[in-house]
Every structure is written in structure tokens, then in C-alpha cells.
Amino acid sequence: MKFEDIDVVTAVIKTLRLSSSQEVDSLSDAISPAILCSIVSEGNLEKLEIMRQFGAYFSACDYDYRTPLHIACTDGNIAINEYLLKHGASIHMRDREHRTPLMNAVQNDHHEVIKFLVEARGFLNLPSSIIADMICSAAKDDNLCLLESLYLAGADLIEVDTTKTSALHYAVEMNNEDAVNFFVGIWSKFHSTRSL
């Protein structure tokens, strides 16, 4: 938002005939998250800085409880992620579907963002049964990008689904050689590190 954009806000206030400071604050609370999310979606650090100077709250939620950080993680913009966390955005906010920003990065296979969020103490805040279903589904579909994303986010790859079947079992059953090799590679790395 530039200084001339304030005239737009003033016009909205006049059009809606808002007179009390409480009404103006309510309007600001309603539109600020949408403006922030739009700026983040554009990847515009300059506008974000202007919003910060005007006192923007970077953990503000839109109607679906998505924060600007959710948008940045969905888009995979590492610079915006770094900026938001540096200026107080919460890494643990959940949207209406209970997804954290880290989960958005995982679902969109943004590995650099996933690593950054994990270093910033982000974690998969989902029940193990849901994570297990995601891992098993990725193994069935031979979806190596999602398997790698889940692994980078700290998912326990030995989780079993509700039928007590592991992702490796599904990969073998579906003859998904790449997924099998992925699991074998991860486990051999893990065991060689533990034996040191």
C-alpha cells in the first residue's frame, strides 16, 4: 500500500458512512488480512514493509483463517517467508482446515521453504494417523516429491495407516520402484548415522 492508497481507504470509510473509530477499526480488521495476503501473493516486499510501518499485524487471518505466512508457504516464496517470520508472523497458526504454513509448503513441495520453516521450529501439527495416510498415499502414487516434502518436514516415515500397513509395503505392492528406493535410501542413511 502506498500513501496514495490511503485515499482509497478513506473513500471506503465515507461510502460505508463509518463515523466512529470503532467502526473504522472493525473495517481495518476485516480488510487488512485480505490486503496483506494479496501483497504476499504478489511477492512484493516493498509493500509489505509499508504495511509494517503502518502497524500491520502479520498473523492476521482472513475468512479461512489463512495468514500471510500460509500464502507465502503455498507460493514457495522464501524471501517473503523470511521477512514475515523476522517481523513477528506466527509459524503455528492453523487455517480453517487445520493446516499450518508448513503443511502448505509440504502440499506444494516447496523444499527450500520446508527446510527454512523446520529450522524456525515449525512442525507438522497433525495427528499421526493423518500423516501416515499422506505418506501411504504418496507411496501408492509413487509421488517422490511429496514423500521428500514429508520427510523434510519431519514426518515419521515408518507410520502405518489404519490397516496397519506401512508406506513401504504399499510401494512394494504397487511395484513403485522409485518409492521403494526412496524408503531404502532414507533408512540406510538413518541406520548408518546411528551406528557411528
Sequence-distant contacts of 37-44: CB under 8 A, at least 24 apart: 37/62, 37/66, 37/67, 37/68, 37/71, 39/1, 39/68, 40/68, 40/71, 40/72, 40/75, 40/77, 40/80, 40/84, 41/71, 41/75, 43/75, 43/77, 43/79, 43/80
Give pLDDT, residue 107. 96
**Distance (Å) of CA 71 to CA 31, 74, 115:** 16, 5, 17
Identify the pLDDT of residue 119: 97
pLDDT at residue 13, as a whole number: 62
Check residue 196 and give its pLDDT.
Answer: 45
Question: Residue 193: what pLDDT?
Answer: 55
Q: Do the first three CATH levels of 32-125 and 126-195 match, i.e. the same topology?
A: yes
pLDDT recorded at residue 84: 98
32-125: CATH number: 1.25.40.20
**What is residue 187's three-state secondary structure?**
helix
d(CA 36, CA 71): 10
166: phi then psi, degrees, rounded to nearest 5 = -85, 160
Q: What is the per-residue pLDDT for 191? A: 58
Alpha carbon 180 to its chain centroid, in Å, reads 27
pLDDT tens digit at each of 196 positions of the chain: 454 455 555 666 676 666 777 876 777 777 889 889 999 999 999 999 988 988 889 999 998 999 999 999 999 999 999 999 999 999 999 999 999 999 999 999 999 999 999 999 999 988 999 999 999 999 999 999 999 999 999 999 999 999 999 999 999 999 999 999 999 998 887 656 554 4
The class that CATH gives domain 126-195 is mainly alpha
Bridge partners, 160 (sequence order): 166
The domain ranges of the chain are 32-125, 126-195
